[in-house]
């Protein structure tokens, strides 16, 4: 009887062990699957931005004009800036009649939208290239870095703040941000310009220290991610100033 109980106990332990191993394996596979999906979204956001940049041309009034196969559409380019007398009179009498820029124009200037990338962020030292979208919601940060609302746009005076997660499986997003040190270069590429920033300092702060988002004189860039790696009790902040 005693041997039978011992045998059942061993059998139960083996069964429990198999269940735990299976559950652990499923959790690991789930995490990998989520990270694979995020990786695909990230690559798609980067490729979509590059495709848009290569297929549109924007004039000085931020009007978006599609390129033809040979480059800028010649008819469209010739017409840039041309306003006949009747149009001039209408605008003079009613300046509100000027059309609002479309969404593509807004994205070109680094504004809008949470569906498409507003710029690309590169940090050569850590071999990083990531798309940046508007907003800091979970939906945005699952596929790109996020430009924090109400902070300066790339290249503008003030403090342009960009937040990002860490991809624990593939090392994407801000996974290696802690390797960045003063003197390193950060690039922000919009549809019409390239802004170069130089890292001035780094710091670790509590999550509640929102002072890092405050306006600052000059053209500044602030990068934000969680730290320590995989624990995320604090925030790693990288400060940079445009060269």
pTM for the predicted model, two decimal places: 0.67
Locate 45 and state its tokens. Answer: 């956001």
Q: State how far the Cα of 191 lies from the Cα of 50, in Å rounded to an integer.
A: 9
Burial 108-144 (b: 16+ CB within 10 A, else e): bbbebebebbbbbbbbeeeebebbbbbbbeeebbebb
| Residue 20 predicted with pLDDT over 90 | no
Summarised one tens digit per residue, pLDDT across range 28-86 is: 666 666 667 767 777 888 999 999 888 765 544 444 555 554 444 444 444 444 444 44
Domain count along the chain: 1
Burial 54-86 (b: 16+ CB within 10 A, else e): eebbbeeeebbbeeeeeebeeebeeeeeeeeee
Q: Is 143 within the bounds of a domain?
A: yes
Q: Which residue has the higher pLDDT, 243 or 30?
A: 243
Locate 63 and state its tokens. Answer: 């009007």
Q: Is 135 within the bounds of a domain?
A: yes
Q: Is 155 within the bounds of a domain?
A: yes
Q: Is 82 within the bounds of a domain?
A: no
The answer to whether the CB of 133 falls within 8 A of the CB of 154 is no
Mean pLDDT of 197-212: 97
Locate 197 and state its tokens. Answer: 């920033």
Mean pLDDT of 132-159: 94
Confidence of residue 152 (pLDDT cuts 50, 70, 90): very high
Q: Is 62 within the bounds of a domain?
A: no
Q: Is 100 within the bounds of a domain?
A: no
Q: State how far the Cα of 119 lies from the Cα of 122, in Å rounded to an integer.
A: 10
Mean pLDDT of 9-37: 70
Q: Which residue has the higher pLDDT, 42 or 26?
A: 42
Summarised one tens digit per residue, pLDDT across range 173-204 is: 899 999 999 999 999 999 999 999 999 999 99
Q: What is the pLDDT of residue 56?
A: 63
Closest among 67, 33, 62, 37 to 52, alpha carbons compared: 67
3-state helix, strand, coil in the chain (%, to 5): 40, 30, 35
Q: Which residue has the higher pLDDT, 100 or 4?
A: 4
Task: Say which range, 133-142, 178-187, 219-228, has the weakest mean pLDDT.
Answer: 133-142
Q: State how far the Cα of 145 lies from the Cα of 160, in Å rounded to an integer.
A: 13
The answer to whether the CB of 186 falls within 8 A of the CB of 206 is no
Q: Is 144 within the bounds of a domain?
A: yes
Q: Is 46 within the bounds of a domain?
A: yes
Q: Residue holding tokens 């890292």?
A: 199
Q: What is the pLDDT of residue 103?
A: 47
71 beta partners: 68
Q: What is the pLDDT of residue 32?
A: 67
How many angstroms separate the Cα of 34 from the Cα of each of 116, 142, 194?
21, 9, 32
Q: Which domain holds residue 124?
A: 2-56+113-242
What angle is formed at CA 23 by the lines to CA 22 and CA 25, rounded to 5 degrees?
65
Q: What is the pLDDT of residue 114?
A: 52
- CATH code assigned at 197: 2.40.260.10
Mean pLDDT is highest, among 108-112, 167-171, 220-224, for: 220-224
């Amino acid at each position: 009887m005693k041997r039978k109980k011992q045998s059942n106990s061993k059998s139960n332990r083996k069964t429990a062990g198999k269940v735990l191993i299976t559950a652990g394996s499923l959790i690991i596979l789930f995490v990998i699957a989520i990270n694979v999906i995020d990786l695909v979204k990230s690559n798609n956001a980067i490729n979509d931005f590059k495709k848009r940049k290569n297929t549109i041309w924007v004039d000085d009034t931020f009007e978006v004009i599609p390129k033809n196969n040979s480059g800028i559409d010649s008819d469209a380019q010739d017409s840039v800036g041309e306003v006949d007398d009747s149009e001039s009179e209408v605008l003079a009498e009613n300046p509100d009649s000027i059309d609002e820029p479309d969404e593509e124009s807004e994205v070109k200037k680094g504004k809008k939208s949470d569906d498409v990338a507003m710029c690309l962020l590169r940090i050569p030292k850590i071999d990083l290239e990531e798309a940046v979208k508007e907003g800091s919601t979970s939906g945005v940060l699952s596929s790109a870095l996020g430009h924090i609302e109400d902070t300066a746009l790339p290249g503008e005076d003030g403090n342009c703040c960009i937040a990002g997660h860490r991809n624990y499986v593939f090392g994407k997003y801000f996974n290696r941000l802690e390797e960045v040190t003063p003197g390193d270069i950060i690039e922000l590429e919009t549809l019409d310009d390239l802004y170069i920033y130089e890292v001035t300092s780094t710091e670790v702060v509590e999550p509640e220290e929102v002072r890092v988002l405050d306006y600052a004189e000059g053209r500044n860039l602030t990068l934000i991610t969680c730290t320590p790696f995989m624990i995320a009790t604090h925030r790693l902040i990288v400060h940079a100033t445009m060269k």
